[in-house]
Chains A and B, each alone.
Chain A
Amino acid sequence: MKNVVSKKVEEMQPSGIRVFFDLVLGMKDVISLGVGEPDFVTPWQIREAGIFSLEQGFTSYTSNKGLYKLRLGITRYLKNRYGLEYCPDEEILITVGVSEGLDLACRAILNPNDKVLIPLPCYVSYGPMVELAGGIPVYIDIQKCHFKINPSVLEKHIDKDTKAIILNYPSNPLGVSYTKKELEALKKVILKHKLLCITDEVYGDLTYDFEHTPFPTLAGAKPNTVYLNGFSKGYAMTGWRIGYACGPKEVIGAMTKIHQYTIMCVSITSQMAACEAMHSGKKSVEEMKREYKRRREFVVTELNRLGLTCHKPEGAFYAFPSIRATGLSSMDFSQRLLKEEKVAVVPGTAFGKPGEGYIRISYASSIDNLKEALRRIEHFLTIHRRKHGRAR
């Protein structure tokens, strides 16, 4: 059989660092700072709710949109926390993580060759999702503007075919987030050009230095926004695969149409557990957030001391230090660090070309692990500086 794989998929860029990942997975005794998920397990009361639901025999399908109880819980939470009002019947859909929400949003809104703006470096799936949905990703290099997109850079990339923009804050891999003021400025441009904003705010609960501002809470932004969030990061529920999308009812309706054919509904166990997360998870989230914040201070202080200059991440659990001082490429640095010191990090280029010269360090790891990893990185740097010096 020839041409088994569709042209579109065949043309998709495979992740350039797959080989590197395989290398890590084959090694033992590695300290990994390359993990994109919390090191906490899901808080017990949430796990217990999942177990209890199984004992009670909740093993069936739910409505396509998700359990009403959960949709109600989430909309109430958004109202209490941010003053953000969505109708639990028509303006919210429970999804298999934010990933599904993003895929659905792209497929629901894009016509062939519609353009979608994506600030880069960004999470790995945004470009491929847009392409699979038939759109054209337009990448905006934000390395030069301190990894934050600003209104003038944004406006330069908009043309008549631009349909939407994907925002992600706090950002994976950058750790940067946006203040309300910064978002207001971006909103003006987005509304002026009548773009749709798909906003991935799954790290919203992990914002350290200021209050997180969901994009749809900005005056006038709600009708133009698909708000994506989930339980993975804040509640340490990555493996449960559960998130949600909120937005105007025509968009959520369209997304629900695709969802009912492809997914039917999210696992009922995960939905029941998520209900408990909405009910009682706040305290656990706050505790984990405090712990992440301490690790952030520790890691950022140390990285800067070692000469791997690093802006202070405002959210999520990633630092994105520059490794330019070593003269190595991101991939070289990561591979050698792994082989020589058994510390795994993710090369910045995994998140797009503008990530060259940077690495992503996840501080979702115990202080003891972080300390040991940083000690090894220091050793690594000493040796490579010496080598570098000799070469000169």
Chain B
Amino acid sequence: MDEILEILEKDGRARIEDIAKMTRKKPQDVRKAIEKYKKAGIILKYKAVINKELARDSEARVRALIEVNIIPQKDLGFDKIAERIYSFPEVSSCYLVSGTYDLLLIVEGKDLNTVARFVAEKLAPLENVRGTATHFLLKKYKEDGVILKHKEENKRIAISY
């Protein structure tokens, strides 16, 4: 992966001038490269990783992993039915997977009932959905490579040879 992407993946707010210094490139070249990545759909968006358990005022949300068994459609395979499913705003992630089921969804809702209703009323009745299994997430330890803990104290002594 290009170094610029590597830097941005770790810190989406890295400034162009700093990236330029880190990579020994000209700022305008970095800017151009980033524009190119955006156009090509390689950089999709920048967002903060938030520890929602600590963000007190945000409304609590529940998340569930849902395994979905589907019947693939002729000529269209899984893509068409996947599109029908991932278009629901409740679905925050959708993957086609190998193994005993076909689609893996991450669904978010404001409480257990909302998610349960989404499964019962919207997902399960779909024509090509053969069955679902819902797993509610209880605790989040790590997300996208970030361990969700309070900032760790510095363990190094302040000065050493």
Query: Which residues of A come within 8 Å of B, CB atoms?
Result: 21, 24-25, 30, 32, 34-37, 39, 41, 123-125, 172, 290, 294-295, 297-298, 301-302, 344, 346, 350, 367, 371
Contacts and interface: CB of A to CB of B under 8 A. Distances in A.
27 contacts: A21-B159, A24-B158, A25-B157, A25-B158, A32-B156, A34-B159, A35-B158, A35-B160, A37-B160, A39-B156, A123-B161, A124-B161, A172-B161, A290-B6, A294-B23, A297-B24, A298-B18, A298-B21, A298-B22, A301-B24, A302-B21, A346-B161, A350-B161, A367-B11, A367-B14, A367-B22, A371-B18
Contacts of A367: 11, 14, 18, 22
Interface residues of B, number: 17
Interface of B: 3, 6-7, 11, 14, 18, 21-24, 155-161
A288 to B, nearest CB: 13
A294 B160 contact: no
A235 B161 CA distance: 18
A59 B21 CA distance: 48
A113 to B, nearest CB: 27
A297 B160 contact: no
Contacts of B3: 290, 294
Which residue among B3, B21, B157 has the maximum number of chain A CB atoms within 10 Å of its CB?
A: B21
Nearest to B152: A41
Contacts of A371: 18
Which residue among B18, B22, B159, B160 has the maximum number of chain A CB atoms within 10 Å of its CB?
A: B159
B22 to A, nearest CB: 4
A298 B17 CA distance: 10
B93 to A, nearest CB: 25
A344 B158 contact: yes
Which residue among A34, A123, A124, A350 has the maximum number of chain B CB atoms within 10 Å of its CB?
A: A34
A294 B7 contact: yes
A367 B23 CA distance: 13
Contact of A34 (B14, B21, B160): B160
A298 B21 CA distance: 5
